[in-house]
Amino acid sequence: MLSTPEAKFACQAVAQVSGLVKQIQGEMVSPALTKNDRSPVTVGDYAAQAVFASYLQDTFPRDILVGEEQANALREPEQAETLQRICGFVKRLIPSATPDRVCDWIDRGTGEPAERFWTLDPIDGTKGFLRGDQYAVALALIEKGEPILGLLGCPNLRLPEFFPHDDPGVLFLAIKGQGVAVTSLEKTKTWHPVSVSEVTDPSQTRLFGSYESGHTNDTQVVSFREKLQTVLDPVRLDSQAKYGLLAAGAGEILVRFLSASRPNYREKIWDHAAGMLVVTEAGGMVSDLDGKPLDFTQGRELTENRGILATNGKVHNAAVAAIREIGA
């Protein structure tokens, strides 16, 4: 799978960033954390983006990074303590890090999409991260509007069918035209090809769902399941880890309806570029709710698309038809 310099670089970078973020989760997330305290994910997001941006600067200095974070707030005096904490974590991988360098690295992610660029979600699945549960480090390389390389680092995900004796943590790698494989974050040596499930009966599909209700429309999810006559319980977890499990055959449908509170919301590219390629290279299909391909040529958002539908491919047409019938 590591047939290109980009793939080798990306795998090493995502593995190291995933390990760092897992340390941050382990040290900062505790049962005593208050409901509104987002400090662990704030530190994790910034530290992860800084590390990756530094690696990218050293390896592909001309490449653009489109990230989720920017450092404006961190440069304010009242954020000095938070910045020092972020810098302390970054130093674990980059001993030469300083607060100023960390801010500069983070701001490297403010680039605008171009003919070739990387897009990073340093911690996808905020609520899962804060619960001590599932999240993902999601990275994609996009050229001419097409994701050609996609990686999902899932530090808490188990795939016992492939890694029965390893600690939690897997890394999915998809290369356009070459398929998708998964390895253990613990070892990153043995790669196993994965493929979507063979389920063709919509009533036997397993739907992926988030714990965060604000990401979709729960009423439409119920109507959608009724229309498909699904009898199996949904698979609930946060983040683009769902894309990885879909690619590995652990479910058949992932759908994101438009939230009733945000009917005009458009998805961010870093929330789906890596996961989309992982699913499609495993034999699945990804579109918007209307069945249109995702359009990554419109900037930082999928402005030409409504919602998300990812399936094993065998039930995609049935899913699109059901979405149309319920008026979603």
Q: Could you read off the pLDDT of 230-269 as tens digits, one per residue?
A: 999 999 999 999 999 999 999 999 999 998 888 899 999 9
Q: Which two tokens stand for residue 143?
A: 């050229």
| Domain ranges, residue 84 | 5-193
45, 107, 238, 288: the active-site residue: 45
Separation of alpha carbons 19 and 21, rounded Å: 6
The CATH number for 212's domain is 3.40.190.80
Q: Which of 175, 193, 211 is the last residue of a domain?
A: 193
Confirm whether 126 is a catalytic residue: yes
How many C-alpha atoms does 204 have within 13 Å on its Cβ side? 8
42, 119, 126, 188: the active-site residue: 126
Q: Which of 149, 167, 193 is the last residue of a domain?
A: 193
Q: What is the pLDDT of residue 86?
A: 97
Number of domains the chain is built from: 2
Q: What is the pLDDT of residue 51?
A: 98
If pLDDT is split at 50, 70 and 90, which confidence band does 186 have? confident
- What's the chain's length in residues? 328
Instruction: Specify whether 208 is located in the same domain as 186.
Output: no
Separation of alpha carbons 248 and 226, rounded Å: 25
Separation of alpha carbons 26 and 22, rounded Å: 6
Q: What are the CA-CA distances from residue 169 to residues 19, 123, 166 (Å)?
A: 9, 14, 8
The CATH number for 179's domain is 3.30.540.10
Confirm whether 166 is a catalytic residue: no
